[in-house]
C-alpha cells in the first residue's frame, strides 16, 4: 500500500514532514532518478509530490482502517450499476517505508534533446520555460523544488 507525499503533507496537522522522512524520501528519489537517467535513459518530467509514493510500513494502520470500515461503513452510491464508495483516510503513521517515483506517463527519452513544454507550470525549470533544449537536468530541478 502506498500514499503520496502530497496526501501525507496535507494530512499532517502542521503540514510538514519529519526530518527523517524527508531525508530518506529525498535520498530514495534521487537514487531512483539516477537509475532512471543512467540505466533507462529516461527523463520523468513530472516530478511532484503527487508522484512520490510512500510505502505503508506499519501494517497495523491497515488493520485499524479495516476495523473502522466494519464499524462505520463509508457512504456509497450506485452509478451505472457499480457501487462507488467515499474515500476513507488512513491514520497518521509513525513509521515509514520506501519512497518510490510513480506516474511515468510524461516520461521521454533522455538521450535526445527536447524543447517542447513539459512539467507542471508551477514546477517548470528555466530551460523549459525559455523553450530551450532540455534533458535529464529538468528532473533534478523538480526534485530540488519539490
Is residue 93 very low, low, confident or very high in pLDDT (cuts 50, 70, 90)?
Answer: low
The per-residue DSSP string of 23-53 comes to: HHHHHHHHHHHHHHHHTS-EE----SGGGEE
pLDDT tens digits, residue range 2-41?
788 888 888 777 888 888 888 888 899 999 999 999 999 9
Q: Are 10 and 61 in contact (CB under 8 A)?
A: no
pTM of the model: 0.72
The top-level CATH class assigned to 3-58+93-145 is mainly alpha
Mean pLDDT of 101-116: 89
**Residues annotated as part of the active site:** 46
Give residue 146's pLDDT band: very low, low, confident or very high (50, 70, 90).
low
Neighbour-count burial of 70, counting CB atoms closer than 10 A to its CB (0-12 exposed, 13-18 middle, 19+ buried): exposed
- At 94 the pLDDT is 67
Instruction: Return the higher-pLDDT residue of 70 and 11.
Output: 70
Asked whether the predicted pLDDT for residue 71 surpasses 80, the reply is yes
**Above pLDDT 70, what percent of the chain?**
94
Mean pLDDT score of the chain = 85
Q: Which three cell numbers stand for residue 27?
A: 535520498
Confidence band for 53, pLDDT divided at 50, 70 and 90: very high
Q: Tell me the average pLDDT across 131-146.
A: 85
Amino acid at each position: 500500500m502506498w500514499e503520496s507525499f502530497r496526501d501525507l503533507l496535507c494530512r499532517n496537522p502542521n503540514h510538514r514532514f519529519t526530518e527523517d522522512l524527508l531525508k530518506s524520501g529525498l535520498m530514495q528519489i534521487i537514487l531512483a532518478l539516477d537509475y532512471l537517467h543512467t540505466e533507462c535513459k529516461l527523463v520523468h518530467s513530472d516530478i511532484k509530490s503527487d508522484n512520490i509514493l510512500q510505502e505503508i510500513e506499519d501494517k497495523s494502520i491497515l488493520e485499524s482502517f479495516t476495523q473502522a470500515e466494519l464499524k462505520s461503513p463509508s457512504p456509497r452510491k450506485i452509478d451505472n450499476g457499480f457501487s462507488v464508495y467515499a474515500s476513507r483516510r488512513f491514520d497518521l503513521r509513525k513509521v515509514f517505508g520506501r519512497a518510490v517515483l510513480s506516474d511515468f506517463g510524461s516520461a521521454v527519452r533522455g538521450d535526445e534533446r527536447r524543447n517542447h513544454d513539459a512539467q507542471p507550470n508551477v514546477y517548470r525549470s528555466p530551460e523549459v520555460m525559455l523553450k530551450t533544449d532540455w534533458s535529464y537536468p529538468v528532473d533534478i530541478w523538480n526534485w530540488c523544488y519539490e
